């Protein structure tokens, strides 16, 4: 090949690379159920689910599970009802194929100092006993679990991991980088979820994602037969619990006043799903 030809080929390669990368990023856009917001999902469901199962198992092994049968059964009962509501919502939105990705587990971790709960991709849920006094009753617990399961339904973890991957690898080069570095996604996942075994803190969500989880969570609890209006007194109790230093459950959430105002505005929509 002549020098001119080689130079031309070299100048063409970056353009092909950029077009390929942009195409991959566009293809990775997904729509959040209910809110219809477009979000970036670079990590495949299969990758995320495998890592989720591993980390969840590790968390359970390193934690003390509650032996209080009444509280354990309440957590499982609320979880199963919201799981059914999740399946119904996905069907209504034409996302039946995603139901198979959920292999639900609900565990109550005995740690009264941790006021928190979380849900990993695929429906791996943990509730800490420290949040039960704030929940107050089964409906209050449904507010908590509906909110956390909503994060999984909206795939907020995938979105945040995708943002982290983009930040580390510089945009359009990400697709090729992930193909040549299989450990990249695993590293980001551990940064996102690895702290769960210590204090139950997952990757901080943005305020937009938190508000979205409030929205979807209200609908899920309503479809599960829990009165969504009870979300308002729950968040009021949670805000009082925070004091000068908010619990981990609130550490990255919107300001208390604006959150409650937003929830009040969403109640009429959620009530349309409430079965009473």
Cα–Cα distance measured from residue 202 to residue 157, given in angstroms and rounded to the nearest whole number: 9
* 3: three-class secondary structure by DSSP: helix
Query: Is it the case that residue 201 has pLDDT exceeding 80?
Result: no
pLDDT (0 to 100) of residue 140: 98
Which pTM was predicted? 0.78
Question: Region 148-165: what's the mean pLDDT?
Answer: 86
The answer to whether 230 is a known catalytic residue is no
pLDDT band at 198 (very low <50, low <70, confident <90, very high): very low
pLDDT (0 to 100) of residue 199: 38
Question: Region 234-255: what's the mean pLDDT?
Answer: 65
DSSP 161: H
79 token code pair: 């979880």
Q: Of residues 55, 98, 138, 148, which has the active-site annotation?
A: 148
CA 23 to chain centre: 26
CA distances from 32 to 14, 51, 96, 229 (A): 33, 22, 14, 24
pLDDT (tens digit per residue) in 95-125:
999 999 999 999 999 999 999 999 999 999 9
pLDDT band at 130 (very low <50, low <70, confident <90, very high): very high
Question: Region 45-73: what's the mean pLDDT?
Answer: 93
Give the residue, 253 or 265, on which the prediction is more confident.
265
C-beta pairs of 112-117 under 8 Å, 24+ apart in sequence: 114/199, 114/200, 114/248, 115/241, 115/247, 115/248, 115/249, 116/199, 116/200, 116/201, 116/247, 116/248, 116/249, 117/144, 117/145, 117/148, 117/200, 117/249
Q: Do 94 and 33 contact (CB within 8 A), yes or no? A: no
Which residues lie closer than 8 Å to 22 by C-beta, 6 or more apart?
A: 172
Write out 98-118 in H/E/C secondary structure.
Answer: HHHHCCCEEEEECCCCCCCEE
Residues making up the chain, counted from first to last: 276
β pairing state of 117-120 and 124-128 = antiparallel
Alpha-helix runs per DSSP H in 181-271: 183-193, 196-199, 207-223, 231-242, 256-271
Give the residue, 184 or 39, on which the prediction is more confident.
39
Give the residue, 80 or 30, on which the prediction is more confident.
80
pLDDT (0 to 100) of residue 117: 94
């Amino acid at each position: 090949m002549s020098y001119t030809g080689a130079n031309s080929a070299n100048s063409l390669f970056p353009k092909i690379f950029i077009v390929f990368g942009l195409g991959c990023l566009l293809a990775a856009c997904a729509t959040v159920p209910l809110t219809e917001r477009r979000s970036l999902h670079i990590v495949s469901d299969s990758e995320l689910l495998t890592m989720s199962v591993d980390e969840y198992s590790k968390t359970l092994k390193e934690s003390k599970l509650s032996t209080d049968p009444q509280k354990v059964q309440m957590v499982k009962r609320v979880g199963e009802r919201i799981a059914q509501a999740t399946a119904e919502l996905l069907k209504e939105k034409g996302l039946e194929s995603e139901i198979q990705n959920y292999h639900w587990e609900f565990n109550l971790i005995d740690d009264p100092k941790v006021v928190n709960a979380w849900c990993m991709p695929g429906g791996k849920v943990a509730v800490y006993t420290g949040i039960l006094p704030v929940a107050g009753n089964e409906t209050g617990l449904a507010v908590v679990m509906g909110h956390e399961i909503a994060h999984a339904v909206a795939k907020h973890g995938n979105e945040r991991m995708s943002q982290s991957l983009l930040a580390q690898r510089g945009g359009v080069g990400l697709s090729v980088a992930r193909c040549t570095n299989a450990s990249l996604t695993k590293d980001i996942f551990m940064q996102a979820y690895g702290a769960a075994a210590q204090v139950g803190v997952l990757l901080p969500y943005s305020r937009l994602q938190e508000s979205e989880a409030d929205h979807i969570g209200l609908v899920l609890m309503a479809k599960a037969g829990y009165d969504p209006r009870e979300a308002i007194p729950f968040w009021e109790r949670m805000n009082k619990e925070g004091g000068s230093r908010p619990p981990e459950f609130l550490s990255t959430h919107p300001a208390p006043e604006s959150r409650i105002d937003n929830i009040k505005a969403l109640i009429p929509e959620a009530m349309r799903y409430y079965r009473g």
